[in-house]
Structure 1
């Protein structure tokens, strides 16, 4: 039986990468359920929009009746839950939207999913999976050594990470209390094509391309593990199709970098591949600004479990992935220019004032 996957947040950055992967590399049918908030972009799905295995439904996961209707209408064999408010800075300025979407929305989706799962026959219930996609930020901040594992205690710092930690706990509770067959994954920082330009890497690429200041929080010494989004999409399919019910899997790229190093690499790549700026090398655009409140110092993922149990490995190094990402933004101005002009011009967020 061919899988039919209902994907929430499929017009977002990671969700669209997952859909493109599933349509290109599997025989699964996909139903994309997305509210189409500011960071969603159906242009990211142009390569699959006309595929007969792809369908789109505009709906809000907080609307339990709508979720129940779509589950009954499409009868999926699995759900991949990626819909979320995800930008830490925006969560500092307006935490309410994060609580509603990430906590209340996850509850509404779980509630509808349990009812749908119970309506299936025995074989359908055994096959069904609810895959909840989360972040390594739920674990808080590491010191100079050590790694996040699947058993690291939760210690979220921001409204965003707290809302994602809450949704993780809800999913586990629905598994333990109601028996819903769930799998969970927590990933490190994603980057790659089709990422909304409020996030560090696309913001720095576009600002550096245009000769605008490159704002780096504090001294730029905060460390993140970077995961190329297409590697992540492959990992999510492995978790959904092979993961054991009730288990969680950490997904990381094995690419720890200081933020300042990331920005410097972007500057150097652009200096190599586009015309120089009149003022000299693009590293001269780097501007250190006041750090954001509650900024975690270091994230690093131990991805040995997914490697050992599911056979997944990242294919991209940070060098190769970053070059692919820069090339994509250079080649796809028609995707990002309307966002810069009309949705987000690159201003500072998350000042908590």
Structure 2
């Protein structure tokens, strides 16, 4: 078999296909294709039996329709919004994801960003760097045990984040219309029936929802207005937040703090409105990452693809 890994030339994740080749062993030859666009991929990529996809190279219908013998595409991540699922289904190509590889890391990162903003660590760093030792310059700090935290999307990562916030004594609520009744009782948290109810109730929002038609720009001008004086953390997908509305909110000083690991278009530069501010904390789409998590992700993506090619399917198939 021929296996292809499609990664971006920009912010590449894979430099050598060694982990994937070890999973396939002698059953396949694994090749790495690094490209700026699927349109630029060589003919060898179109002749692969299976593909492993990384997120900065969209695989849309024009590319998928050119695949000659592909039977499976595995998105090396939880989200799979960069792949045209319907086009793949029409070509009898199964698309799968890896939903369980970095749950701990993303939840840890979301809570770390929240704690940094809540304790105003960026501001404290600025104060000390300027030569002051006056703690009053840091500003007012909330007590965590009095904090109301809201989780948008209570899947694996959302649940893990909720439990971490609970460990700090926070009161946790969530909004997720797709989660069955009773999850709130199992976790010891509260359910909100609407997003508006959650935004009104809490002091801090942490986003853990997938990106799809329902969640695209889920947080827009109206929702940001409801978060006036509150905190917003996004370690999920950038386009869940309306980018222009968020830039306007930051410029206007509407939010108490913003933590972003993902952005609406990560191929572009970071908006200048986010730079040089103590109330905006940025990281380079790294929430998923630890050395162990990246190795686990790559191995599991290869294992899922191997199952699709040899057994015809896998429980992670999404289309």
Name the TM-score class by shorter chain.
0.3 to 0.5
Considering fraction of residues, name the structure with more helix. 1
| TM-score normalised over the length of structure 1 | 0.32
- Structure index of larger Rg: 2
| TM-score normalised over the length of structure 2 | 0.34
